[in-house]
Amino acid sequence: MVTSLIGAAPSAAAAAVTPALTDAVTAKLLGSAELSAAAARPETRVTVSRTSGRWAFGTAVALAPRQEDAHPTGSIFIARSEPAGWRIAFDGEAAFGALAAESPLTTAQERSVLTTTPAPMYAGGDYRTGMALPFGVGQTWTLTSGPHGWGGTESPYSSVDLAGGDQVVRAARAGAAYTMCQGWIRVIHDRGYSTDYYHLWNSISVNGASVGQGAVLGNTGTDVTCGGAAYGRHVHFGLRQNSAYVPIAGHDIGKWVLNNGAAAYQGGARHGSAWAGAGAGLYNYGALGFNQGVVDANGGGALTRRAGPGTGYGSLGSVADGATVTISCSANGTSHTGRYGTTALWNRLSDGSWVSDAYLSTGVNGPVNGWC
C-alpha cells in the first residue's frame, strides 16, 4: 500500500492522516464488489488531498498489473473521524452525498453534484445521460474498440476506446473532476453518473475542480502508470452510475446509442438508422437534451409529421432519419412498430406536429416531457 498527502497543512495532516484512516479506506476499497473476488490482493494507493479537523477527502486506487485485460479501479472518498472509528463513503454511495453536504472540505460547486441522490439505475428504463462524446463536438473519431469491461473482457461492458481527431480528450458532461492517478481522470456528473478517462497524456491535475461539458482533460495517450496496457494512442472511456461501472449499451452519448457485440470489444453505436461498428468513425453531434429524441426511421428515409397523434391526422411534412427533435409532450394514438418494439405513444414536437415514438430514440421507454 502507498499513502500520499497532497495540499494539506502539516498540522491538519497530523490530525487527520493516520494509519487507521488509510487502513480503513484500503479495507473498504478491497472489500468492494470489483475487488473482493480478485485472486490476488492488488497494491493500493490512498491519496489524502484535503483535511480539516475530523475530516479527510481523497482518492483510493487499486493498481492493476501492466498487462492486457487489466485496468486500475478506485473511488473518491470522504471520511469523518468518529468515536467508533472512521466513517468512510465512496463516490456514488448514498452516504457519500450525506457526508459531502456536511463536510467543510467540499465546495459549493462540488456539492451541487456530490450531494445528488443516486438516481434509479438504467434498469428503471431511463438511459438518458445528457453527455456528448469525450472529444470536440463536430469532430469524427474512430471507435477503436466497442463496448467492453473497464478492465477488459469482464462484465459489465461499461467502456469504449476512442482515438483520432485532434487527440484532445474532453469532459462528456459538466461536473466535478478528480485526478485518480496519473493519466486517469474521473468526472462526477448529475443524476448519479460519472465518467472515467484513462491512458491520458498531459492530463490536468484536479481536486474537485468544476468543469463544463467539453472542458479539456488531457490528450489521448498510452499512459499506464496505474496499470493495464495500451497499444496506440486512445482514451479508455468508462461509464459509472451509483458507485459502480454500468453497461454502456443503451445509453445515448453524443447522440449515438451504444450497442454490445457478440463479445467484448465488438459491437458499436447507432445514430438514427446509421450503424458504426468497431473501427468505424463516430461524429460527435453533441449532447441529446432530456426532452429530445433522434429520429430512427428503422431503415433510413424520413418520418412523417402529423397534425395529431395518429395516422388518421393529416401530414405536415416529414423529418429526416438521424435528425434531432424536441418534444413538448406526449399522448396515446395509433400503434406502430419500430426498432425497439410496438408502442401507441406519440410525441408532440416543438413545432406543434406529432410523430410516433416508435421511430424516436429518446433513451426512455415512455414520455420524456409529460403528457399533453
pLDDT given at position 9: 36
Per the structure, the complete domain to which residue 280 belongs is given by 139-284
Residue with cell 502508470: 225
Q: Grid coordinates standing for 53? A: 479537523
| β-pair partners for 62 | 44, 73
Tell me which of 248, 264, 284 is where a domain ends.
284
Tens of pLDDT along 322-338? Answer: 999 999 999 999 999 99
Instruction: Tell me: pLDDT of 3 over 70.
Output: no
Residue 291's region, left for phi above 0, alpha for psi from -120 to 50, else beta, is: alpha
Instruction: Tell me: pLDDT of 138 over 70.
Output: yes
Residue 123 near residue 251, CB atoms below 8 Å: no
**Angle value at C-alpha 12, between 9 and 16, nearest 5 degrees:** 135
144 and 267 both lie in a single domain: yes
29 lies in some domain? yes
133 lies in some domain? no
pLDDT given at position 12: 42
Residue 295 near residue 273, CB atoms below 8 Å: no
Going by pLDDT thresholds of 50, 70 and 90, the confidence category of residue 94 is confident
Tens of pLDDT along 43-77? Answer: 999 999 999 999 999 999 999 998 888 899 999 99
Give me the sheet containing 2-5, strands edge to edge. 2-5, 44-52, 55-62, 73-82, 85-90
157 and 246 both lie in a single domain: yes
Average pLDDT, the chain: 91
The CATH number of residue 238's host domain is 2.70.70.10
pTM: 0.93
Tens of pLDDT along 190-216? Answer: 888 999 999 999 999 999 999 999 999
57 lies in some domain? yes
Distance CA 229, CA 368 (A): 40
134 lies in some domain? no
Q: Grid coordinates standing for 289? A: 437534451
pLDDT given at position 119: 67
pLDDT given at position 348: 98
- SS3 state at 2: strand
pLDDT given at position 120: 67
The CATH number of residue 325's host domain is 2.30.30.40
pLDDT given at position 122: 65
The count of domains in the chain is 3
Instruction: Tell me: pLDDT of 8 over 50.
Output: no
Instruction: Tell me: pLDDT of 294 over 70.
Output: yes
Q: What one-character-per-residue DSSP string does 252-269 give?
A: EETTEEEE--SSTT--EE
